[in-house]
Structure 1
Amino acid sequence: MTSTPIDLGRPVAGDVVELILDDHRRFETLLRQLRDASSDRDAVRRALAALHVAHAEAEERFVYPTLRDDHAIGDHEAQHGEHEHAEGNQALLDVLELTSVAGEEFDEAVEELSRLINHHLTEEELTILNPARSSVPAPALAELGAVFATERNALIDGDCGRLENVRAIVARAEEQGLLDEAEED
């Protein structure tokens, strides 16, 4: 099945906060397209999967640890961000596993995915990106931006959003207890 190619951007450098915000706006656009029954929903969900996995993995591997080391954020903020990424991956998996991109079941899965991603974007911008802006020097944000962009792009190039990979990521999150219901928002 041929589908519409969707541009996820290929940043190579920049302030990490701005690069993350650019991806946040891409998430919002992709979610709008996923809700639109006239769009190529299969292409959109695959693009969203690639972006979500690449973005979250790059943040968890490089951004959160660096901001924690720089005392811009605490352990709680980083752990909560990882928990919300895991929730988003679970909801993403639910959307990817559906055989049809039409109907009530798909719409409900997309609604849950949208709710979780939008909550995370708002919270991350307030509790992680704002502290990074105010307490990390610009050269360090630029250096981190290059690392984030390189990892993000490499993951997208490696087809990180494929169904089998998202399943493995969700299984790993379950093993690590990141999907426990006890986590508070």
Structure 2
Amino acid sequence: MPSADVVELILQDHRRMEELFRTMRNVEADRAAALEEFADLLIAHASAEEDKVYPALRRYKNVDGDDVDHGVHEHHEANAALLALLEVDDTASAEWEDKLEELVTAVNHHADEEERTLLNDARQNVGDDRRAELGRMFRQSRSQYLEAGCGSVENVRKLVASADD
């Protein structure tokens, strides 16, 4: 049975994003399809974290609330970088390569930081049962976003615009 631990689920998504980056960097791969999967995964993952995981972690005294706020800020940066890539039409262009690298930088920075801070804090301070409960909530929320096509360029535009307000 797949792990329900929220930390493990988040890490699995991070690893899948890395695989998709490798595909998107490969000129022989179906870059557009990889980007489509990536966009859905990134938005669903970040939205589910913000809806279900971050508010719960904020309540633990040994989890730094500033790390939670910083995570949300970095989600906005990643969304803006994603939008810039989604708006490039030619996946074989230099512009696409440039925007891809900006996205890779933003997402990898966030994932690395989140793994070292929030996820380590969660592992140390949040009990197994609560992490499993958060994992179920995260997975359910993430599925709802995926079913709604959350990675569409229209939706990402809305998210980026609302973050700028």
What's the TM-score, normalizing by structure 1? 0.87
Would you identify which runs of 4 or more consecutive aligned residues in structure 1 move more than 4 Å? none
1:78-97 aligned within 5 A = 78-97=68-87
The answer for the alignment partner of 1:121 in structure 2 is: 111
Structure 2 residue 164 is matched with structure 1 residue 163:
no
SS of the aligned residue for 2:131 comes to helix
Root mean square deviation, CA, Å: 1.3
In structure 2, the partner of 1:172 is 162
What is the letter of the counterpart of residue 94 of structure 1? A
Which residue of structure 1 aligns with residue 14 of structure 2?
24
Cα distance in structure 1, aligned partners of 2:80 and 2:142? 20
In structure 1, what is the equivalent of residue 23 of structure 2? 33
Bigger helix share: 2
Query: Which stretches in structure 2 are left out of the alignment for 5+ residues?
Result: none
- Which residue, 82, 87, 110 being the options, matches 2:100? 110
- State the shift of 1:13 in Å: 6.1
Which amino acid is the alignment partner of residue 19 of structure 1? L
Q: Letter of the 1:37 partner, please give it.
A: V
1:14 to 4, 9, 12: 4
Q: Which runs of 5+ in 1 are unaligned?
A: 1-10, 176-185
- Percent identical pairs in the alignment equals 45
User: Aligned residue pairs: how many?
Assistant: 165
Equivalent residue number for residue 144 of structure 2: 154
Other structure's SS at 2:96 match: helix
